[in-house]
Structure 1
């Protein structure tokens, strides 16, 4: 069990490091431990670290992968009742306890990478694992701001693709989980970190001999105390993953239903396979997602396992084993795909947006009762049919309440049985490459 430490910020007492008992009410949520032998051997051990492995900061604790020079997991406590408004500020520095040589330096996050004298645009940005916004809580504004600034250490950073919808991932706790109002006291224990693949991309700087691996994706496990017990436990758990590398997905079980730049709710068992971590039986049992086929067969209708669910907004989240399941088609076998959209029509935009659906089969498909929905909850209910190999365009009044955001957005297509047929996302940065009046093609990302 981790020791408890306290530090003073401008006279306000603040916890130093992650607290396993933060949720109170008799719950204890320990930091996950490396389980796979390879991960155990890669774990950074130094005398300067607590117990040789932990780097403590206000409200959060890191364990590090010495081989990748990136964190294994960040464990942080969030008091949602103590969030304070403050402008984002801070400068990046090395984590002294971890050691400068055990962290990825700033040069790998520059907008341009210099390779043999040539400046090449860098696809990767600083991935803030414990985000500034989520650490911005405390007894007063000054203390909260100082705590948030402590997240600007290179040990808390990992290469994140610039097209990744960072804002949605950062605010997962606040805009996806918090509206569910599942917790009893506003307190969260959160674990986050990278997911590695066998085909991860590597970032090279020609003047250095220490190339850096970019993770295939990232995970986030959110734990909280539930007011009402479920199967005898008050521990609530929601588990999410997001991927940024299509090639790396080929090595992941479940990749058949996963796209890049989309949040997914997943099982703890699958996350443990992806990361080599052990989250413990209590967290695994509390997670409502289904991993075992035997459990899935008891669900009506049966679901594909291990269960992987795309998340647009809080209504998509599975909160209990008894939650209504929708299921998801394997991407390669989906009958209808969301093909393209006019997201940035020339002025005026109102009334000129459209979305096209492609029938990928050899037969006509009835679209009556199908629903196309955005994360905001706006939707279009479809009618009619689409012939084999043809495109069905949703436009004008058929768009219903749908609006396609120029700052980024998503769409999820469900059939009349509520099965997820396809889902797409786009970001503001990706749209900058597409001129006004030109449609955005989702499979190509342009």
Structure 2
């Protein structure tokens, strides 16, 4: 079957067993890049040019990102973690500031506060959307207020590709006066209230990642979107060692080569050949999204009638981008060990990942901030049940049938 021949599904095929004899070398992983000849050609052209870094492609990629996502400004950076770091610095986070995020996210969503010397706290997820719960957030804000403390910022994660409840978050931002950041790395191309350009409308800054498992890739790489010129200017200065040639702020000017450093920055730049790949990939984002949604629909149909599984919920005002397909299995009720299930499923040809180990349970956060098991029960239960199963554009119907059958067969074997 042609990998690019996407299917229209009315009934999802199922079989009780998988053919292990055909599976000795076969392995499906939760995500992978999708690179084609035109991507390679775009990179090759830059590699043959005079400038393979700090050339014109970064600016071109920034312009394309701004256009696609409706942002006034875009700044490319070395990776998504660098983007979050620079956002915190650009927003002026400092010692004793309180930054709130979700426990169900990658470490960088919380670590960015630590980089700035700030303090981290968490708010549990909504049980349906797996994104930060606005009601619990307001409770947390009120709790701090009762102690004469105020939160500085909220880093809200559009987990798996499902947008947060941004209207509610924005109302809280206006009510309690805090900064709002969208950790948008999972949600490129998602829609909120029928708007693919929603992210910069609600957030002060929006963070993107172009890691190979994301919707589009530059190998490593990221970007920060914003409608605030001061934030953009700060990030673009800090990503290049804090150097500036802006004549309006130079203390003197010895000539065209002259630059000054007014504050310590970092080498968080991205190369031109990475940006060339990003430009090429961005042109395919809509196609990639269509394919991911088709895959998700297949899985939804396959698992929906089996009470052992919980398939991802999608709110009525949202169009999911499906960076991940977070399938929950009720291991606790089935009295099945998740670790054993992992190894058995791997033997059957499918390797899942788990997104995520709740950040508050990491030894660093337990030791330094006093978090413990039971602090955020919805996130902890979600972690115990969640597995991210393969979802990437090159999967076809035959692949998905095999993957789904392998999951069910392995579960049946462990009864």
Quickly name the TM-score band, shorter chain normalised: under 0.3
Higher strand share: 1
More contact order relative to length (CA 8 Å, sep ≥ 6): 2
- Give TM-score, length-normalised by structure 1: 0.24
- Give TM-score, length-normalised by structure 2: 0.25
